[in-house]
Amino acid sequence: MKKKALFIINPVSGGKKKDRVPELIKKTLDNTLFEPTIVFTNGALHASELARDAVNKYEYLVAVGGDGTVNEIASAIVGSDTVIGIIPFGSGNGLSRFLGIPMALTKAIKTLNEQRVVVIDSAQLNGQWFFNMAGMGFDAHISEVFSHDKTRGFSAYIKSAFSEIAKYKSQTYHLEIDGVKYEREAFMLSFANSSQYGNNAHVSPNASVQDGLIDVCIIKPFPLYRFPEMGIRMITKTAHLSKYVEIIRGKNILVKRSQDAPVHLDGEPQLLGTSVEINVVPRSLKIIAGTMFKDKK
């Protein structure tokens, strides 16, 4: 029996046109396995609304967009038997890359045909879900700046980062990770379920989406001239070897700071106050992975 699959396309993600996507889905998807329905979102949170309505009606929900679109859909189905698939179309595509999903459109659709379903961890920050990465500090600040930029894509994100870094100030954070207390001055804190932000920039190269833990990545203040070095370390998967990076794994994480500032969940910024609590929900999301995916458990 064919499985019903709802494709939810975000027309603005990644600054890339999606006009050809419905035709390629119909052409490439195995019609002996799937009965596809294709819809486009018309604004923020519409993907989440469509996903909630689709639970128990479709076996598969496929996010055609970036990590933010994936987050909206996954948040609606986490803990259920519904499976999420991804056709990556965002600026970074962090979770897709980590799961070995091809960036090429046709190859990504063919990955759906293979139906390689894995079960991964999810996490909540102040009750809101994230599946790839959440953060406080500089990366959250850049996510906020980038959200107001009419130009999408990786180059626009990098431009925002370089324009903001010289004037950004680090903060002191009070952390409690599985009952152990820490105080750290940090340029940013990243809460990593997978290893990378996106674009193969790995902040925590040994992170796992199946170990029941979040990697708390503390990026300490560093001289501005070493900013390119930090970027190279992320691309070469050696960030964890830097003296400016400390990684502590945990299941229950509390963070307090003196000033409110943006927090991002899978790249989407918001203000959540001076205190955040993060909890892991192990093995709670069914997702299609690429054939090259092999988690570091």
pLDDT, tens digit, 9 for 90 and up, residues 242-257? 999 999 999 999 999 9
190-197: average pLDDT: 97
Q: Which two tokens stand for residue 184?
A: 């750290």
Question: Model-level pTM?
Answer: 0.93
pLDDT at 80: 96
Q: What percent of the chain has pLDDT over 90?
A: 81
Residue (of 127, 70, 93, 99) closest to 209 by Cα position: 99
Residue 54 above 90 pLDDT? yes
Determine which of 69-73, 111-115, 162-166 has the lowest per-residue pLDDT on average.
Answer: 162-166
Q: Which two tokens stand for residue 191?
A: 């809460």
pLDDT at 50: 97
> What is the SS3 assignment for 200-269?
CEECCCCCCCCCCCEEEEEECCCCHHHHHHHHHHHHCCCHHHCCCEEEEEECEEEEEECCCCEEEECCEE
pLDDT at 82: 97
Integer CA distances (angstroms), 56 to 84, 262, 281, 287, in order: 13, 35, 22, 16
Integer CA distances (angstroms), 184 to 46, 135, 207, in order: 38, 15, 21
Q: Which residues of 166-184 are buried (b: 16+ CB within 10 A; e: fewer)?
A: eebebbebebebeeeeeeb
Average confidence score pLDDT of the chain: 93
Q: Which two tokens stand for residue 290?
A: 């690429």
What backbone phi and psi angles, to 5 degrees, belong to 236? -95, 10
pLDDT, tens digit, 9 for 90 and up, residues 109-157? 999 999 999 999 999 999 999 999 999 999 899 888 777 666 655 666 6
